[in-house]
Amino acid sequence: MPPIFLQWLSLVAMVLLQSINGTNSNFPAYSSQLKHLLSMSQIQLNNLAFASDAGKLFGWLSGIAANYLPMWLVLILGSSLGLVGYGVQYLLLIGRVSNLPYGAIFFLAMLAGNSICWINTVCYLVAIRNFPLDGQLVIGLTGSYQGLSAKIYTDIVDVIYPSSDVKRARAYLLLSSILPLIVSVINAPLVRVIKVMKTKRAKDAFIFILVITIATGAFAVMGSIGSTSSLLSPFASAVGMLTLLLAPLLIPLGLGLRHQIKQLAEEKVHIEEINNVSMDKMESGVKLDISEIISESPSESFELSFSSTSEEFNGEIRESNNGDDRISETNEVISVIEEIGVKVMLRRLNFWLYFFVYLFGVTLALVFFNNLGQIAESRGRSASSLVSLSSSFGFFGRLVPSIVEYFVSRRKYMISRPAFVVALMAPTGAAFFLLLANDTSVLWLYISTAIIGVCSGAITTISVSLTTELFGTKNFGVNHNVLVVNIPIGSLLFGYLAAVVYHKEGNAEGKCFGMKCYRKTFSLWGTLCFIGTFLALILYARTRKFYNSKRS
């Protein structure tokens, strides 16, 4: 197979892997049933949500494994952790496992949360190494599909169990345990490093996949807000989503076919030239065997043909069969404020501004999503519809920075990512206060969920580039993992406070209904988010000279 085909096939594999890797976003869909069936308190339930986030504390293990093991093995190991973590919880719900202590359930949730890091690590490394010029774009683009995971799982559950809440909760856990493993096994042969010696952006291919991705998100959003519910059955909706997920396969197939056609055409021209030379010499009375002429330099002929064809798509490409993940240098120079390690980074004011911006933005949003099950229950609404809505809009949020970066970078203009974050934090804070609107149709609940999904998803994507620009590329893996430590910290703190308020306002059975359940919580979260917006403004002011100096 042509290497160009394998390179872009790895991108398709990343899309499929990320689309089923957001298993933690399914928690709200089965959390209420888990609470009732296992007689948990609201605080215990929130601690399980924290456990899933706490799995990220050990995400560095996947990075170490990727340094010593083949990518396919890292992928299988990570999905196997999810099989155990979610699988045993599923057996617990169906009664096959009994008398499991709460501590063991907590550990299983943490194990399941950690499995996500392994698949992410594989996708990030393959994206950076296979697309050195467009690594950030590919990470953002493929990562956006992770924001779509809850929608995909919901579509499948809608087909299997359209009505029973108990059976739906079990289905979510079963799918979360087996689907990542199945997809990982299928895609393991495709997740390989293709060594890129010199590169040229494949503009047409990226535009095409961006169009497919936008179409996928639009289809998901329409299904989430119910505009297609009267037109498409759950089965038709699931088939439509699967078709769109497989649509990126057209890109490597097209590139591979085009490569083969051009290669054959060039070989034909080369043979015709040889024939012409042969005829000329025969007319001069010189006998020459055409087969000898062709055999004189077949390898050189092929190399010339392949090199010229490949460079048109993405440069000269060679497949890495020996596991060597090193990349040759490219013409791209990543601009950074400073190149520092974690010890120095922890002494920088920019880091702590960034840390609390992320804590009061993305982490708060994650806690909100973890509580969607109870929020929906308190408003008398379906948790699945809200989970699907947040997933769909989160998908677009993750995708938007990639689209902006793709087109802006081609004008040699460097985006001020702190300014981008400010523009996203402000509406997030406003959305939390919109949740206080006393609307019996819960319109503001859906609008606010969509806003929080878009903005938090976008900041998640921006954070990858922002960490690189603030603190450099050499220690990115460690530096970014230190930053996201605020996720389990915030999950524990904010989730616990929300659980206490919910429990205090609830009835004897531990259930809470009405606006009162989360009024204080939303007020606090909105205030903290506006504080984060102010901190983001300070970070923007401190880095403005750096970004201004990079304008063309």
Residue pLDDT, tens place only, 255-296: 778 777 877 777 777 676 676 666 665 555 544 454 444 444
What average pLDDT does the segment 3-19 reach?
88
Per the prediction, the chain carries an average pLDDT of: 79
What average pLDDT does the segment 461-472 reach?
83
Residue 305: which pLDDT band, with cuts at 50, 70 and 90?
Answer: very low
Distances (CA, A) of 57 to 17, 62, 110, 146: 22, 11, 9, 20
Residue 431: which pLDDT band, with cuts at 50, 70 and 90?
Answer: very high
> Of 172-186, 267-281, 391-405, which gets the smallest average pLDDT?
267-281
Instruction: Specify the higher pLDDT residue, 280 or 446.
Output: 446
The DSSP call for residue 288 is: -
Domain at 1-274, CATH homologous superfamily:
MFS general substrate transporter like domains (1.20.1250.20)
Handedness of CA 127, 129, 130, 134 (dihedral sign): positive
Asked if the model's pLDDT at residue 86 lies above 50, the reply is yes
The string over 57-93, giving b where at least 16 C-beta atoms fall within 10 Å of a residue's C-beta and e elsewhere, is bebebbbebbeeebbbebbbbbbbbbbebbbbbbbbb
Asked if the model's pLDDT at residue 507 lies above 90, the reply is no
pLDDT on residue 281: 59
Instruction: Specify the higher pLDDT residue, 345 or 134.
Output: 345
Asked if the model's pLDDT at residue 506 lies above 80, the reply is no
pTM of the model: 0.73
pLDDT on residue 112: 92
Question: Where are the CATH 1.20.1250.20 domain residues in the chain?
Answer: 1-274, 335-551
**Under 8 Å between Cβ of 116 and 54:** no
What average pLDDT does the segment 293-313 reach?
38
Asked if the model's pLDDT at residue 357 lies above 50, the reply is yes
> Residue 436 — φ and ψ, nearest 5°?
-85, -10
Task: Classify the phi-psi angles of 40: left when phi > 0, otherwise alpha if psi is within -120 to 50, otherwise beta.
Answer: beta
Q: Name the fold adopted by 335-551.
A: Growth Hormone; Chain: A; (1.20.1250)
**Under 8 Å between Cβ of 436 and 519:** yes
Instruction: Specify the higher pLDDT residue, 315 or 366.
Output: 366
Longest dimension (CA), the chain: 107
Classified as helix, coil or strand, 345 is: helix
pLDDT on residue 18: 93
Instruction: Specify the higher pLDDT residue, 314 or 29.
Output: 29
Burial class (CB in 10 A: 0-12, 13-18, 19+), 552: exposed
Asked if the model's pLDDT at residue 302 lies above 70, the reply is no
Residue 332: which pLDDT band, with cuts at 50, 70 and 90?
Answer: very low
What average pLDDT does the segment 207-230 reach?
76
Beta-bridge partners for 485 = none
**Under 8 Å between Cβ of 266 and 309:** yes
